[in-house]
């Protein structure tokens, strides 16, 4: 599929042919959903921990004698029904990690890119460079490109001036093209990428 290539002034300078096997496939919604659930699950730390009745601080002596008090029998003041007692069936450290075959992960990325391309939400630039870090210049570029929502900017390699110019914008995120993921593709309205980033994407998804 062909898309226009624009400069930072918003002017069309040429057309580029995007790989149809990456940007024009039939999106697989089930695989995209599975990839997103996997990414969100793998981001969970799983360090939550509650103390059982055997772990809370307190005496192990019987609270009061078994018979003759008229009260219910209890063997410990650390039982879950008492204030300061342990937690019954509470959370313990665990791993939420989910696995997914590489072919399915790549299919999910191609599907998400195809969804964006179908909605005309992929913007290709000839180049993206700033002489010095300037958030104002980044805003001007977004205005020139008529970006009316959130956007993720894919960079082919580290670019300190561009990264510092973008990171103060609340609705814009920069990301290395090699770290492309479903969560960011689906979480932002537009995908902005220089031609160098397109080459990176096509190199590992093509």
The total number of structural domains that make up the chain? 2
Q: What is the pLDDT of residues 15-24, one digit of tens each?
A: 999 999 999 9
| Whether pLDDT at 1 is above 90 | no
Give the pLDDT of residue 118: 94
Residues, the chain, total?
Answer: 206
Helix, strand or coil, per DSSP, at residue 122: strand
DSSP string, 148-186: -S-EEEEESS--HHHHHHHTT-TTEEEEEGGG--HHHHH
Clarify whether residues 101 and 200 are in a common domain.
yes
DSSP string, 76-142: -TTSTTSTT---TT------------HHHHHHHHHHHHHHHHHTT-EEEES----SS--HHHHHHHH
Q: What is the pLDDT of residues 100-148, one digit of tens each?
A: 999 999 999 999 999 999 999 999 999 999 999 999 999 999 999 999 9
What is the rounded average pLDDT of the residues 43-53? 96
Give the pLDDT of residue 100: 96
Report the largest interatomic distance among the alpha carbons of the chain, rounded to a whole angstrom: 94
| Whether pLDDT at 91 is above 90 | yes
Clarify whether residues 157 and 178 are in a common domain.
yes
Residue 12 is part of a domain; what is its CATH number? 3.40.1370.10
Clarify whether residues 62 and 130 are in a common domain.
no
Clarify whether residues 106 and 151 are in a common domain.
yes
Clarify whether residues 39 and 131 are in a common domain.
yes
pLDDT band at 206 (very low <50, low <70, confident <90, very high): confident
Clarify whether residues 53 and 142 are in a common domain.
no
| Whether pLDDT at 177 is above 90 | yes
Clarify whether residues 80 and 127 are in a common domain.
no
Clarify whether residues 25 and 72 are in a common domain.
no
Clarify whether residues 104 and 177 are in a common domain.
yes
- Please state, rounded to an integer, the average pLDDT across all residues of the chain: 95
Clarify whether residues 50 and 6 are in a common domain.
no
* Percent of the chain residues topping a pLDDT of 70: 100
Contact 4, 15 (CB under 8 A): yes
* Percent of the chain residues topping a pLDDT of 90: 97
Q: Which domain holds residue 130?
A: 2-44+97-205
What is the rounded average pLDDT of the residues 49-62? 94
């Amino acid at each position: 599929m062909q898309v226009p290539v624009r400069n930072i002034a918003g002017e069309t300078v040429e057309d580029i042919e995007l790989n149809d096997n990456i940007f024009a496939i039939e999106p697989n919604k089930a695989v995209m959903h599975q990839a997103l659930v996997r990414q969100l699950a793998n981001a969970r730390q799983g360090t939550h921990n509650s103390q059982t009745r055997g772990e809370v601080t307190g005496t192990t002596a019987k609270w009061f004698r078994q018979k003759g008090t008229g009260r219910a029998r209890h063997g410990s003041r650390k039982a879950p029904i008492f204030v300061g007692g342990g937690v019954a069936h509470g959370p313990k450290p665990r791993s939420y990690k989910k696995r997914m075959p590489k072919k399915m992960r790549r299919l999910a990325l191609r599907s998400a890119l195809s969804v964006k391309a179908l909605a005309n939400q992929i913007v290709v630039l000839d180049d993206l460079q700033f002489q010095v870090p300037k958030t104002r210049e980044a805003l001007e570029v977004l205005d020139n490109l008529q970006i009316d929502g959130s956007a993720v900017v894919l960079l082919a390699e580290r670019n300190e001036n561009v990264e510092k110019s973008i990171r103060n914008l609340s609705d814009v995120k920069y990301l290395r093209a090699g770290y492309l993921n479903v969560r960011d593709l689906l979480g932002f309205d537009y995908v902005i990428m220089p031609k160098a980033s397109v080459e990176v994407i096509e190199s590992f998804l093509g």
